[in-house]
Structures are given as C-alpha cells and as structure tokens.
Amino acid sequence: MCFFLQLFFETPVSAVEVLQLDIGDVASADWSARATRIELNLGSSGAIAARISAHEVTLGADAESWTDVTLSCPELEIAAAFARCPQLSITGTSANLGPQRLAGSAVFDARDQAAEITIEGGSVAGSALQLDAKLAGGRWQSQLDLPNIDLASLLALAARFLPDGEAGQADGSIGLKLSAEGTSSGPLAMSLAIDARGVTAGNASGTVATDAMSTKLQLNATRSNSAWQIRATQSGDAGQAYAEPVFVDLATQPQRAAIDAVLDLDRQTLEIASWEFEQPGMLSATGTATVVQTDEGFRLARLTANRVVAQLPEAFDTYARPYLFSTPFDALESAGAVEMRLLLNDGQPAAFSAFLDDVAIADKTGRFGLSGATGAVHWRDPAVAALLAPDWPGQSQIAWTAATLMQLPAGAAQIAFVAEAQDFRLTSPLELPLLDGELKINELEVLRAGAENMQLLLDAALAPVSLTELTTALGWPVFAGQIGGRLPSLSYRDGVVEVGGKLQAQLFGGNLQIGDLRVVQPLGNLPQLFADIRFTGFDLETLTETFSFGRITGHVDGEIAGLQMLQWEPVAFTASLSSTAKDSTKRRISQRAVENISSVSGGGAAAALSSGVMGFFDDFAYDALGLKCQLRDGICNMGGIAKAKSGYYIVRGKGLPRIDVIGYASQVDWARLLEQLKSIQESGPPTTGPSE
C-alpha cells in the first residue's frame, strides 16, 4: 500500500489520464483478496477519481467472505504524504449480511501517522451502521453505533455459526453503541451501551423466557496493565421475565443492578468490589464477590451479601414461594420486613443472619404460624466461618407476640438457640403459652439435620390444658377436663417421628399412656400417625359431660390398639372400654345416657324407657358397662362386655328397677357414628323433664 501511495504522490498528474493496475490476488495474515484492480481517473480539472475493486475478499480467521467489493472515491485529494476522500463509497455482498452499500469519508496523513474514517449505512440484522475511527499520536479511537437491530434477524444470523437449535428464537429490537480506544499495545478503554426494547425470547427447554421486556445496560471499562476496571449498570422497567421458577413483572416491579469490579487477566480473577440490586418496595441488596477462572471454567469463589432487605409478602411471593410449590410449605403467607446477611464460600453457604422486624408467617391450613416476630437468627459453618468471618454472631434469639401450632393458638414467647452446620440446640428453655396451659421445652437438640443419621433429642412437658379449649381448637368433639404430661425421648429419621418411651398424661381424672407413637411426614400433605393408647381410671361423670351425653358415674379402663390416622383422621384401630374392676364409686346411669347409648349402637332400651313405669326414674344403677369397636375400611365392628341372647351387653343393669342396654348392630358406619355423636353433643341436655 505504501508503494501505491508513493506512486500517487510522486507521479505528475499530467503524465497520464487513466491509470489501471490489475494486481490479481493479494493476501496478508488477516485478509485476502482475489482479482484485485486499482483505477485512477485524472479529470481535466485536476480532480482524481479512484476506484478499488475485488472479485472476492475474505476477512478474519472465521473467513467472512465478501464478493464484488468496490471502494470508490470520486474526488480523491492527494498531496505530499496526505490523502483525503470526502465521499467514500463501499459496495459488496457479504455471505452473512447480504448486499451492502456504505458511504463515508476518510483521511490519511502520513506525516503525523494520523487517520480518520467515517462509514454509515448498510444493514446489520436490520439496523443501519455508523462507524467512526481515528488514529492520532499513536492512539486510536473507534465508535460503532447500531441503533435498531432486529433481534429475530440477529438470531437468524447467529444460527449460521451455532449448532442446530442453540440460537433460539426471539422478537424485539436492540440498540447498541460500542466505543473503544487504545494504542498499538491493545485497548485501554471501552464503553458498551445496550437498549433492548420489547424483547420476547426463550430457550428451547422453556426454563428462561421474556415477554415484551425492555432493559438497558451500560458498561464502562478502563485498563491498567493486565487489569480492567469495570463499572456496569442495568435496569428493566417493562415486560415480564421468567427464570425457572421465578417470574417477575418488570412493569410493576422494576429493577436495577450495578457492579464495580476489577478483571485481572493475568491472575484470571474478577474481584467485584461492590454489587447492588434493587426492586423498590420489595428487595434491595449490596455486597462483594470474587470469581476465578479454572480449567473447568468460571467459579464463584466467594460472595458476601452485606445487606439484603426484603419486604414481605412481596419479596417472599416473588422469590421464595415459587420454590415451595408442591411442597408441604406451599400455603405460607408472610408479612413484615427481614434484613439479611450472607456469606458463600466456593458456592456453598458459610454464614447467614436474618434480622426480623414485625414478621408474620403462617400456614393457611393452620399447621403453624408466627406473628409479631422480632430478633435475629444466625447460622454458620464453624469450619469456614472461623477463617472468613470469625466475628459472625453465634447466638440467636427471636420473640413473638402470638403463634399457632397444629391449629392451636399459642401466646407470646421467646426462643434462644445456636445453629451451626447441621446442628441446632436450645440454649435456654422455651416456655410457650398454649391455650390455658403451657408447653415447656427444657431441651431440644438436633444433630446432623437432614442426614440419614439425624438425631433429635427432646425433653418437654405440658402443663394442664383445658380439653374443652383443645378439642374446640382442633375441631374435634368437645371434651371436658384437662390434659397434661411429659413427653419422653423423641427421635426423627427419614421423615418419621418416633417417641422412644411412653407418653404419660393425666386426663379425665385418670391416666393416659401412649406407646409406639410414630408420625410419618408430620408436615407433609399426607401425614400418618400410628400409636397404641391405654387409659385407666377415667371418671365417667367428667367424660360424659363432654358430649352432653347424659350423666354416668363410675370409672372405666380401656385401650385403642393399633391406631392409624391419615391426615389426622382415624382410619383403623381396635378400641375397647369397660368398667374399672374393684371400683368403689357408685355406678349410676341417667335415662338420657341410656337413650343416647341405644341410639348410637342400635340398643334395645329406649323403647322400655318410653313406656311403663321406667320412664318415671331419672337414673338407674348398673353393674358394669363396656363397648368395643374395631375400625376397618370406614366400618366399626361392634361388641360389648358380654354376649346376650341376641346381640351384646353394653350396660348390664343392677337392682330394681333394672335396665340392660343391649346392642344389636354388629357393624356401624364410622362417619355416621361420628355424626350421631356430634348431633348428641349439639342437642345439649333437655330443658324439661328429668335433668339427665
């Protein structure tokens, strides 16, 4: 090229009128040209018209091919070591971009080693092109502007270079501005601005998608030796975005993000000195990070979230709830605010803190809930945190104003604990007001939570709680009396809760013992309970008050063996109760109690009471009573204390007037039986006639 410029500069213009050079094929390390021709036309006015053409030009290592390429300059100005073309025209056909027509200008000054070129026009993925480049004083500058790239056309172009299906499909437009400057040693500064408008796109698997999304990106970078100082900002305020399973409506939840970082090419590290993310009214976060490049690719070596503020329920519903779908926790509701800190090391959590501000969280099904919660939750992996965050707090404490546990209302309380790695331990007893009593957890320790060899240690006691309040809260038939007791050692493994000893409680003036207690998936959608229950010395007078059943005095013993419950509803058991042996308590049964027993068991005493002298007595003495029920497939197989000539004795009378209650129904529908008991309870005691 220098030879041709020298030829132009030193050849007298009067020597020739037309100069045509057929050069043929030329090539360098970066480009090659075939059938190259240079033409100079010296007009009578002294103006020079220049034209360079090539049948084919190949650019770059990727062999971008152009055909029928022509560079024209109708008014080429040439002076000593200087050339200028104010009306440069370039035409040709790109194998990838199609026919192109560009216009611009160019200046070259050999004395100062300076050059300047401007090109505009053409079409790159549907967008016109504007390119400005300058070289002066050993420093170059360039700016590329593609204001309206059609995204569908861009991906069609990319598909030529990617494996089938990897380019994807999209609609929308992108504005792009790229500027750079540097020296012969390489670029020193770069700036990139992207304005994406109405982008609708998605990957083949459907895990990432946008709909009419608009977002802006600004990136500025400067280089010093091998390190690039980078500042990037991004914002989105229109359309929707989905990254499985999170969906964000940017029109109602606009967001912005920013990073300040140093990319060290020699060390192959990206040190993010500051990153920010914000969605006003929902979420804000700041922190630092370190990314390193290894043989396997890029790896997040460390991330610190110094301050994450989440407003509930907005942040919870957007970023947490999608991960809970089809889990036992997909019905959670939340309110309040949470400020968090997080430390990741090699992509794994090393420490976490959450500061609660009037937080409420509740399960819609009533399994659990918490309101008015304040305090701090801290967790750490001791092995990592000791090195990276030795001052990270270890003691956690939360206080709340009200709570719900398995549909039972609980009062204000506070809990203090330590959580490290997979372990959890109470550091002081938890005293939880429950109905009119109190649940006191003296010791609770969880080791290796989530592991197959997980262990749970629990020591708890329940101060007497009103059975009336307890059963009402659970939606069960209302019981009278109180319940209290001690919970022995408890373990949890593979989704199963087991009580190692026997649960003891005082109930209805007697003793209750629950053994072989197991609960499978207690917080799942289909919890199952298994147990064997025995009771002794239950006071019938207290017990029968529960159902307004009619007054019965005396005591009973009994059991519910092989109890199985599904979703907290009984599905199988073998139950029996009978009068306590050697009980010195007077045994009396009221007329109303006889009627109710007869109605639910198909007994034969109700007719006798409705006629004759028996109807004048309020109650009757009895020798013994008892009832059996074996529940299978929704049917109770019934029995009593002894066989009768026809049926079975439920109540065996004593003295005069004597009355026996005999059951004739050998099978009773369980659901119907419950409805009858509920009907008896709701009917209440009679308002006239005998009181019981």
CB 165 within 8 A of CB 204: yes
The two tokens of residue 594 are: 């006889």
Measured from the Cβ of residue 687, the count of other Cβ atoms closer than 10 Å reads: 6
Q: Which two tokens stand for residue 262?
A: 């140093």
Measured between alpha carbons, how far is 110 from 83 in angstroms, rounded to an integer?
A: 9
Note the pLDDT of residue 322. 94
75-79, 177-181, 261-265, 409-413 — which is least confidently predicted? 75-79
Q: Both tokens of residue 583?
A: 């009980």
Q: Is the pTM of this model over 0.85?
A: no
Task: Find the DSSP H helices in 430-552.
Answer: 467-474, 540-545
Write the single-letter amino acid at 260: D
Would you say residue 595 has pLDDT above 90? no
pLDDT of residue 602: 59
Percent of the chain with pLDDT over 90: 52
Q: Is the dihedral of CA 470, 472, 476, 480 positive or negative?
A: positive
pLDDT in tens, 667-676: 989 888 888 7
Q: Mind listing the pLDDT tens digit for each residue in 459-489? A: 888 888 887 888 888 777 677 667 777 777 7
Among 61-65, 555-559, 603-607, 641-645, the minimum mean pLDDT is found in 603-607
Two structure tokens written together for 660: 């026996």
pLDDT at 339: 97
- Is the pLDDT score of 8 beyond 80? no
pLDDT band at residue 692, thresholds of 50, 70 and 90? very low
Query: What does the alpha-carbon distance between residue 187 and residue 263 come to, in Å, rounded to a whole number?
Result: 14
**What are the tokens at 437?**
């009593």
Instruction: Give the mean model confidence (pLDDT) for residues 67-86.
Output: 90
Q: Is the dihedral of CA 559, 565, 569, 574 positive or negative?
A: negative
Q: Does the pLDDT of residue 16 top 60, yes or no?
A: no
State phi, psi for 8 to the nearest 5 degrees.
-65, -40
Q: Assign 1 a pLDDT band (cuts: 50, 70, 90).
A: very low
What is the rounded CA–CA span in Å between residue 630 and residue 576? 9
177/149 Cα distance (integer angstroms): 11
- The pLDDT assigned to 45 comes to 63
Give yes or no for a contact between 651 and 659, defined as CB atoms under 8 angstroms apart: yes
Tokens of 459: 């020591």
Identify the three-state secondary structure at position 550: coil
* pLDDT, tens only, 619-628: 889 999 999 9
Cβ proximity of 32 and 26 under 8 Å: yes
Q: What is the pLDDT of residue 684?
A: 56
Tell me the mean pLDDT in the region 267-277: 96
Q: pLDDT category, 5, cuts 50, 70, 90?
A: very low
443-459 confidence digits (pLDDT tens): 899 888 877 777 778 88
Tell me which of 19 and 425 has the higher pLDDT: 425
- CA dist 386 and 345 (Å) reads 12
Residue range 513-522: mean pLDDT, rounded = 88
Q: Place 169 in a pLDDT band, splitting at 50, 70 and 90.
A: confident
- Examine the pLDDT at 644 and tell me if it is beyond 60: yes
Q: Does 610 score more than 50 pLDDT? A: no
Sign of CA dihedral 56, 58, 59, 65: positive
pLDDT tens per residue, range 373-397: 999 999 999 888 777 778 888 899 9
Query: E strands within 110-168?
Result: 114-124, 127-136, 139-150
668 dihedral zone (left: phi>0; alpha: psi -120 to 50; beta) = beta
Maximal C-alpha separation, the chain? 153
Q: Encode 450-472: b = buried (16+ Cβ within 10 Å), e = exposed.
A: eeeeeebebbbebebbbbbbbbe
Mean pLDDT score, 562-569: 92
